[in-house]
Amino acid sequence: MKENITIIGAGLVGSLLSIYLSKRGYKVKVYERRGDMRKEKMSAGRSINLALSDRGLLALEKVGLAEEIKKISIPMHGRYIHNLDGSSAFQPYGKEGQYINSVSRGTLNMKLMDLAEEQGVEIYFNEKLSKIDWSNEVIEFESNKNKPLPSFKTDLIFGADGAFSAARLQHQLQHGKFNYSQYYIDCGYKELTIPPTSDGEFAMQVNALHIWPRKDYMLIALPNLDKTFTCTLFFPFEGEASFEKLSTPEAVKSFFERTFPDAVKLMPDYINEFFTNPTSSLVTVKCFPWIRGDKFALIGDAAHAIVPFFGQGMNCGFEDCRVLDELIDKHKQDWGKILKEYQTLRKPDGDAIADLAINNFTEMRDKTADPKFLLQKKIEARLHEKYPDKWIPAYSQVTFSPHIRYSEALKRGQMQEAIMQDVMAMPGIEEKWENVEVEDVILRRLNS
Ligand SMILES: Cc1cc2nc3c(=O)[nH]c(=O)nc-3n(C[C@H](O)[C@H](O)[C@H](O)COP(=O)(O)OP(=O)(O)OC[C@H]3O[C@@H](n4cnc5c(N)ncnc54)[C@H](O)[C@@H]3O)c2cc1C
């Protein structure tokens, strides 16, 4: 029986995992590299806000947190598209009543840490993992304040220390056959702000995720409870239109006025923010194995960092926690079996959502403004309405169907896409898309 569990990283996933484990009676200690964001003013890291969807909510619900977190979230029922010609369109995400939630990363992380501590979890801040000695089962930390902590033994370690995980590196360094790949896309991101209007209201439709799709790049905006929107520019590092080219305030002004004319009017400080806020990169990390016997496992971004275009990184990490918890019941605390099955189940799902997320980048920045793509989505939505068990659009499988595994969603999505490519190639599809003939073709293909 393991009693003492150590988690490296008090980010979103490490904090939620600590709640799950302490609720089961384990003695949980969490070691976090940064200071305590509840006491010191600091960035919560990565994006300012995030989209929380049904998988994340299901994981929160299992420890009784979903309702509390919903209270600090803003529902987004669909995409609000801002075209270059000034026109705009609302595209619902799913069926009536289905939505994703915009939540502040900092507020969510602080809430999870509060709840973890209420549950008896001990969180140590300014403690950076430096070494794991596998043969002696000893962990060492290097304090940010230059006073090394004494090393200590633990029964089980979880590496929840994000995309650039030190725990993963320690695992890799002392492993004979560790597979690892990291892939940076050629786009980075920068955050900008749309403040409230002069009368203190949201400057745009609040219950939507706003997108300015511009083919090779895009701007998006998610609402915050303080009536601001956090905008994120996903933009190439190099090339004709790129961060490299926007090196002066004049270049930024001219580019934004040409490319995002309606957004510019709502962002009084964007030029200053463009030069003050960091430009960050986006990486996909895949690795294997995630575990070491019954002593160690990677979880969250440390196991599977993905690009943010499906809004699933945190949701996937929260789902890791839920699946692991179910396996604790199934294998009656036999950690060798628990970790083995956790890896068997989650590795293909982590790989699948990584691929889905890369594909969704093209969809968001390019296709959301394409009439043919919009027609395809209309046909799919109609099918889903009529045959909800037979046809679930790929986006809905990932976002609103937490019981469909990511690997299954990827497979089904590819099969449906192949059918839709043929349907969209039918002569006159624009006129006859609601005809029985089209429906019959799809149903026949599905049944075969
Ligand atoms: C621009 C952007 C937008 C995103 N939008 C979404 C979204 O809408 N929806 C969604 O679901 N996901 C989104 N994500 C993904 C999401 O941010 C991550 O999947 C999520 O933060 C992963 O949580 P984590 O706890 O695994 O890692 P992290 O959040 O990275 O937390 C890791 C923690 O470990 C600590 N740490 C690191 N090294 C050490 C060490 N050596 N010792 C001790 N502690 C250490 C860090 O300080 C940090 O607190 C987005 C990501 C980006 C970049």
Is any atom of ligand 1 closer than 6 Å to the C-beta of 9?
A: yes
pLDDT at 447: 87
Enter the pTM of the model. 0.96
pLDDT at 147: 58
Is any atom of ligand 1 closer than 6 Å to the C-beta of 314?
A: yes
Residue nearest to atom 31 of ligand 1 (CA): 11
Percent of the chain at pLDDT > 90 equals: 84
Flag whether pLDDT at 45 surpasses 80: no
pLDDT at 137: 80
Is any atom of ligand 1 closer than 6 Å to the C-beta of 31?
A: yes
> Which atom of ligand 1 has the smallest separation from the CA of 10?
49
> Which atom of ligand 1 has the smallest separation from the CA of 9?
34
Distance from the CA of 297 to the center of ligand 1, in angstroms?
Answer: 17
pLDDT in tens, 139-160: 988 875 555 555 677 889 999 9
Residue 386, judged by CB atoms within 10 A of its CB (0-12, 13-18, 19+), counts as exposed
Which of 6, 12, 299 maximizes ligand 1 atoms within 8 Å of its Cβ, making it the mutation to test the pocket? Answer: 12
pLDDT in tens, 107-140: 999 999 999 999 999 999 999 999 998 888 889 8
State how far the Cα of 344 lies from the Cα of 314, in Å rounded to an integer.
20
- Topology of domain 4-73+103-181+283-360, CATH: FAD/NAD(P)-binding domain (3.50.50)
pLDDT at 369: 79
> Which atom of ligand 1 has the smallest separation from the CA of 46?
53
> Which atom of ligand 1 has the smallest separation from the CA of 128?
42
pLDDT at 44: 65
Is any atom of ligand 1 closer than 6 Å to the C-beta of 351?
A: no
Could you tell me which of 206, 171, 424, 383 has the C-alpha nearest to residue 285? Answer: 171
Is any atom of ligand 1 closer than 6 Å to the C-beta of 161?
A: yes
- Can you tell me whether residue 322 is helix, strand or coil? helix
Is any atom of ligand 1 closer than 6 Å to the C-beta of 104?
A: no
Is any atom of ligand 1 closer than 6 Å to the C-beta of 54?
A: no
Could you tell me which of 405, 401, 446 has the C-alpha nearest to residue 423? Answer: 446
